[in-house]
Structure 1
Amino acid sequence: ELDSATGVDLDFCSEVNRLLNEALDRDVEDYSLEVGTASLSAPFKVRQQYEKHIGDDVDVLTCDGRKLKGCLTSVSQDGSEFTIEVTRKVKLAGEKRPRQVAEPLTLAVADCRQVTYHFDF
């Protein structure tokens, strides 16, 4: 899978495919090669994908089974953790109804099964 902060076009995928085919030896081992772009629904794999989606809503599935949705606000320099802003209902003292409150939540990448871009239809 190929991805870039500026996007990946078909010509670039074709060039990568050609270069890989030239570098690999079919006489040693038969192989199947498929080059394409990372889809919007593919889980993030590297820090740059997190950086690309700062300011976007993401879906997070944690290792303990929690499903979270929030706005990705930051990623650490080493890519080991990220922060999302999640909204939840909170009943404040003196108010009749609960209010939606946005709270930052920092998660370790290692504690998440997957993080994906959230898109609404």
Structure 2
Amino acid sequence: MFVAIFFWLVTIILFAMYLLQLQMKLYMIPWPVVLVIFNTAATVLYVTAFITCSAAVQDHIRLPGDYNKRAAASFFACIVMIAYGASTFFSFQEWKGFGSNAATSQVTD
């Protein structure tokens, strides 16, 4: 629960900062690096949350109500883990600059 609420709040704060373009005013902060670190931490902690939640799912015959809650929590933790993993990939590409092509490259021979 800590992982879900903490990263939800931080994601909302970062989204609001980018929406209001506050990162332009805080130019001394390396934002691509901050996003890579944030997304990597979120992915790793959601992997542990997903594994923990999946291991807690037990036989539905003994605990029918508890099974549905834990199975749903595992499913959504997996979905969010994949989303943060994709965001880590894209923020890493932005940080390293893999998105440039020949038309935008400034390399001269």
Structure having the higher strand fraction is 1
Which structure has more relative contact order (CA 8 Å, sep 6+)? It is: 2
TM normalised by structure 1 equals 0.22
Higher gyration radius (CA): 1
TM-score normalised according to structure 2 size:
0.24
